[in-house]
Structure 1
Amino acid sequence: MAVEISNPAELPDPTGFGYSHVARVRGELVFIAGQYDSDAEGNPTGTDFAVQVDNAFSNLGIALRSVGLDFADVAQLRTHIVDHDLDKLAVLGKKIAALWGDRPPAQTLTGVAALALPGMLFEVDAVAVRD
């Protein structure tokens, strides 16, 4: 496998928060730009945070499949949440668990005041690996 996920025993287990400490990769790196909840014209479709998270990850999946990859090939995520709080972290954690189970990729979450477009509440970009 091109992505090996690990969590050193000397560090706290982060998987309950939807990430792993280390992603070791072998192969070609593929960078996926920030994906968000958008319609065909690129506008956010709603104001529900959970729906925006689902749609952003759906769009990430489309981008990955367009180059012959899938979620299992993701080594790192960067997530951005407008007005981040623990409730939003729980929504994100559930989505990460649904996609990666107990082997989530490395991730950095940033709480932000705003994103690129009005109405955007969530954005995710990724680094994936082709073996």
Structure 2
Amino acid sequence: MKHLIICALCFCTFQTKGQTFKNPDSLFNPSPYGFSHASSVKTPGELVYISGQSGGLGKDHILSSDFREQVQTALKNLTTVLDSYQLKPENVMKITVLIVDHSAEKLKIWEEEISKTWKNKPFPASTLIPVPRLALDKMQIEVDAVAFKIN
């Protein structure tokens, strides 16, 4: 029974007085890796902290070898977490982008794809960090975010 309760918490919302932690059902379970897909703190509005979303597709976290496909999937995963808070990309205040073996070509792909997700500008504040490697061998990109929701 104890294991059943713990597993039920893996894919649901956990809330305390001012904090909420979410793991949308359509994304993989991050609990074994020590993080939630998103957390928020209530203020006169609500800040939502979104863990790094990779280019891994679905619950099985399938990684394409194509950088553009991973960028598209990472942005889709970010949007999935935002949707769980009834937010849109325009609610994102800050993103951090980690790109393996960053190059001008990869930057151009990132810029093209983020423009498709952020249809209504302005873009959020952003930090891009070139890295030699991410958590899994085939991961090429990871994007985290902080969003704000007015109550």
The yes-or-no answer on 1:52 pairing with 2:61 is no
For each residue in 1:44-78, what CA deviation from the matched residue of structure 2 results, as whole angstroms up to 9, or x when unmatched? 42110000000000000000101111111001110
Residue identity matched to 1:103: P
Residue identity matched to 1:61: T
Tell me which of the two structures has the higher relative contact order, counting C-alpha pairs closer than 8 angstroms and 6 or more residues apart.
1
4+ residue runs over 4 A deviation = none
Residue identity matched to 2:118: W
Distance verdict in 2 for CA 1:130–1:100, change over 3 Å = same
The yes-or-no answer on 1:70 pairing with 2:88 is yes
Which has the higher Rg, Structure 1 or Structure 2? 2
Find the aligned partners of 2:87 and 2:110 in 1 and give their Cα distance. Answer: 22
Report the TM-score when normalising by structure 1: 0.75
For each residue in 1:13-55, what CA deviation from the matched residue of structure 2 results, as whole angstroms up to 9, or x when unmatched? xxxxxxxxxxxxx832100100012244443421100000000
Report the TM-score when normalising by structure 2: 0.66
The yes-or-no answer on 1:85 pairing with 2:73 is no
* Identity of matched residues, %: 39
Residue identity matched to 2:61: N
Unaligned runs of 5+ in 2: 1-43
Aligned residue pairs total 106
Which residue among 26, 34, 48 is the counterpart of 1:30? 48
Shifted more, 38-47 versus 121-130: the winner is 38-47
Find the aligned partners of 2:95 and 2:130 in 1 and give their Cα distance. Answer: 14
Find the aligned partners of 1:44 and 1:124 in 2 and give their Cα distance. Answer: 16
Shifted more, 67-76 versus 79-88: the winner is 67-76
